[in-house]
Structure 1
Amino acid sequence: MMEIVVRWSSPLPAEERFLRLLDDVEQGRFAAYRQEADKRRFLTGRVLAKTVAAERLGVPVESVKFDATCEDCGKPHGRPRIPGADLALSISHSGDLIGLAATPSIPVGLDVETTTRRADEGLIEYALSPAETASLAGLPAEDRAAAFFVYWTRKEAVMKATGKGLRIPLKSITFSRHDEPARLVFSGDAALNPATTRLADLKAADGYRAAIAVLTTDELSVTEEHWTP
């Protein structure tokens, strides 16, 4: 059994005690965001990640330095990691909720979405496999949207775990029904194998929906906590 803690936070204020935890590259990324909400979400994600990394590695949070170099383009917007450390991290945010999941060097993906998003037919056609689409048939509009985003957060989580993102066609993977425990039933892409993929739907917070995926054969035991610095 793999025990995982997902830590959630509201957006942190842009105060010196948090800003000083950003390195020069991160300071540049923070400054590049035009919207204050985006600045605070980025800051919160980094502070969450560095706090958890410090706890896991037994070092001061001020000493945690990430390499976020994108493997595709070389720019510093990739998944934050500490070279050589036994640690894998995944950050996700939506609205006023930011989340962080950590594992011991095992690929992990976290996704959170607000429940206010709409699911039009074009998005459903783009994202869901035939079996998943069929499971939405006959549902009232509100329930249909809720069910769709159960699938969507699961798909986003596994995409993040593989590191391939949308290079894996969303329709090529099929999950268990939206009203059943999360499980990868079928994958048409070699990067995802149902035998070595584990998922869990998360509670997150009122007004949100979330999921976590880990590329492992171990079953997951996930604890969620809301963090106040």
Structure 2
Amino acid sequence: MAVGRDTRIGVDVESLDRPIGAAVVGRVLTADEAKALCALPAEQRGRRFVELWTLKESWLKAIGTGLDVPPRRMEFAFVERALIQAKFDESLIETIGNWQFLQFMMGGSRLVAICTDQTVSPAPRCWRTLPLEHAMPDQPVLSRCSQRVR
């Protein structure tokens, strides 16, 4: 869960060992994303898909449409080790905004993506909660962030 004030915000969390089928890749990724994915060594492809999926899902949650907007209408590229570049289908009214993206590793096996239309600190406060127990601080490790997207 992500909480913000006077902002649209979306978050997605996925396990890095999530199995990915070829049919899902074709429905979710753009042609350029799929080409970049296939260019990676086989052992890196699952992680890259999860990186792309969490970014897409965080934006879809931020705009509140869910999968009514096909994930292939947005594209992400990793232009440097820690920089995310986002491109949107310009016909989508939902793309209006100053979208920013952050990705974090949590607990070594979960990837978290946050999307918001406001300036974001690259060091959010995070807590891990367990049912019927106290919340405990959890330390996210920043993986990537975007430049402001318009």
CA contact (8 A) 1:175 1:183 kept: yes
Distance (whole Å) between structure 2 residues aligned to residue 138 and residue 109 of structure 1: 29
Structure number with the bigger relative contact order (C-alpha 8 A, sep ≥ 6) is: 2
| TM-score, structure 1 normalization | 0.51
- 2:93 equivalent in structure 1: 190
Distance (whole Å) between structure 1 residues aligned to residue 94 and residue 64 of structure 2: 9
CA contact (8 A) 1:181 1:200 kept: no
**CA offset digits 1:49-96 (Å, max 9, x no partner):** xxxxxxxxxxxxxxxxxxxxxxxxxxxxxxxxxxxxxxxxxxxxxxxx
SS of residue in 2 equivalent to 1:223: coil
Within 5 Å, give how 1:135-214 maps onto structure 2: 135-177=36-78, 179-188=81-90, 189-193=92-96, 196-214=98-116
Aligned length: 128
Question: How far did residue 219 of structure 1 move?
Answer: 4.8
Between structures 1 and 2, the one with greater helix share: 1
Between structures 1 and 2, the one with greater strand share: 2
Distance (whole Å) between structure 2 residues aligned to residue 205 and residue 187 of structure 1: 34
Where do 4+ consecutive residues of structure 1 move more than 4 Å? none
| TM-score, structure 2 normalization | 0.75
SS of residue in 2 equivalent to 1:101: coil
- 1:7 equivalent in structure 2: none
- 1:47 equivalent in structure 2: none
Distance (whole Å) between structure 2 residues aligned to residue 199 and residue 177 of structure 1: 12
Q: Point out where structure 1 has 5 or more consecutive residues left out of the alignment.
A: 1-99
Distance (whole Å) between structure 2 residues aligned to residue 212 and residue 201 of structure 1: 6
User: Which structure has the larger Rg?
Assistant: 1
CA contact (8 A) 2:17 2:47 kept: no
